Amino acid sequence: MSKKTIRDVNLKNKTVLIRVDFNVPMKDGKITDDNRIVQALPTIRYVLEQNAKVVLFSHLGRIKTEEDKQKNSLYPVVQKLISLLQYPVTFIDETKGSKLEKAIKNMKAKDIIMVENTRFEDLNNKAESGNSPELGKYWASLGDVFVNDAFGTAHRAHASNVGIASNSKDAVAGFLVEKEIKFIGEAVNNPKRPFVAILGGAKVSDKISVIENLLNKADKILICGAMAYTFFKALGYEVGTSKCELDYVDYAKSLLEKGKDKIILPLDTVVTKEFSENAEGIIVHSNEIPNDMMGMDIGPKTIELFKKGLAGAKTIVWNGPAGVFEFSQFAKGTNEICHILAGLDDAITIIGGGDSAAAAINFGFENKFTHISTGGGASLEFLEGKELPGIAALDDKCCCCCK
């Protein structure tokens, strides 16, 4: 997959529309994690350096009611952007109309405008998430070049990514999307070997296609998190009150048969009687989970097993935590995986977004990995080998035979 990037087009004196992913977590009107904003800064700064005008688009949350609009304005996000960028940004509190058009028309070189939450267009007819042809064409008409730097929405065909790209003369990738394509795409399609995948999280059903795709490409797949209990059930183990998808037990069994020695399951499990941070945890063998207890984390024998499984690996992709890392006493497995990966100096280490990315950042490993993806759902679909509409809509790089 070879897409044009902002380096491949002339941006000087142009009005550049940039789709960023500022869909950041909020609590009481305040941003609790600004990583997605931080990751967009290199692209924004580069466009400014080209003496261009910058118009930013992003969504925030889901908009179904007027109350949702009040809670999900991008205004506080703009204030955080100004603080991080150390540069003025004009916020336009509408998604279309004369106020926005006039503001863009009056822009000077190196000005930045942030458009209000694109999902405000979803309130009545889902024009944004439904990729309304009229809306995509309208937004595209506001600028000269479109840059998609929102990998987190690349698996969705929305008006603010596919719609604008389809109606722009130049539609290219920003630095963040370029990096995501490079690391996740190359890791799956052309990995340095041995290639090991670590898959955790809650559900086998969420990662069926990922497991199937990686069984054909990875040398080993380490399974952890709540999804492991469905595999235990497939082996005939009792899993107590642990999360288990009974509808997928037979499927998990078929994956184990197909994967043979490739799939590595936990040897031991930290269990407790209740889902609580203060619950007392004990370590049991994976086939000895008591009927009245639930699995919350991997145990020390599994950590050592995983450490051996990762030794010598040259490419590692990790998606999904090893346990309920939100509770400190059940965070050890996830934390130890971070430590193991951080110590593999010669390996390409990639975290595929979502909870595992949040855990790595929270535990202080933000700069210890080759790449931490900003897109949970997009990363999963990339790992499945699917084409992402937001990336497919961008201009292809011309091959040498076209010159």
Q: Where are the domains of the chain?
A: 6-178, 191-383
Amino acid 352: pLDDT: 84
For residue 56, give the 3-state DSSP assignment: strand
Concerning whether 203 is annotated as a catalytic residue, the answer is yes
Task: Tell me the pLDDT tens digit for each residue of 43-86.
Answer: 999 999 999 999 999 999 999 999 999 999 999 999 999 999 99
| Residue 221 contacts residue 262 (beta carbons within 8 Å) | yes
Which of 4, 126, 137, 203 is catalytic? The answer is 203
pLDDT > 70 fraction of the chain, expressed in percent and rounded: 98
Which of 36, 96, 156, 332 is catalytic? The answer is 36
Q: How many helices (H) and strands (E) does the chain have?
A: 16, 17
Q: Please state, in angstroms and rounded to a whole number, the distance separating the CA atoms of residues 220 and 166.
A: 39
Concerning whether 320 is annotated as a catalytic residue, the answer is no
Concerning whether 354 is annotated as a catalytic residue, the answer is yes
Instruction: Read off the DSSP letter of residue 130.
Output: T
What residue type is assigned to position 132 of the chain? S
Return the CATH fold of 6-178: Rossmann fold (3.40.50)
Confidence grade of residue 401 (pLDDT, cut at 50, 70, 90): very low
Task: Tell me the pLDDT tens digit for each residue of 158-214.
Answer: 999 999 999 999 999 999 999 998 888 888 888 999 999 999 988 888 888 899 999
What residue type is assigned to position 167 of the chain? N
Which of 354, 375, 376, 390 is catalytic? The answer is 354
Concerning whether 225 is annotated as a catalytic residue, the answer is no
Task: Answer with the residue of higher pLDDT: 380 or 48.
Answer: 48
Which of 61, 185, 377, 385 is catalytic? The answer is 377
Q: Fold match between 6-178 and 191-383?
A: yes
Measure the CA dihedral 286/288/293/298, to 10°. Answer: -20
Return the CATH fold of 191-383: Rossmann fold (3.40.50)
Phi, psi values for residue 284, rounded to 5°: -130, 160
What residue type is assigned to position 226 of the chain? A
pLDDT > 90 fraction of the chain, expressed in percent and rounded: 81
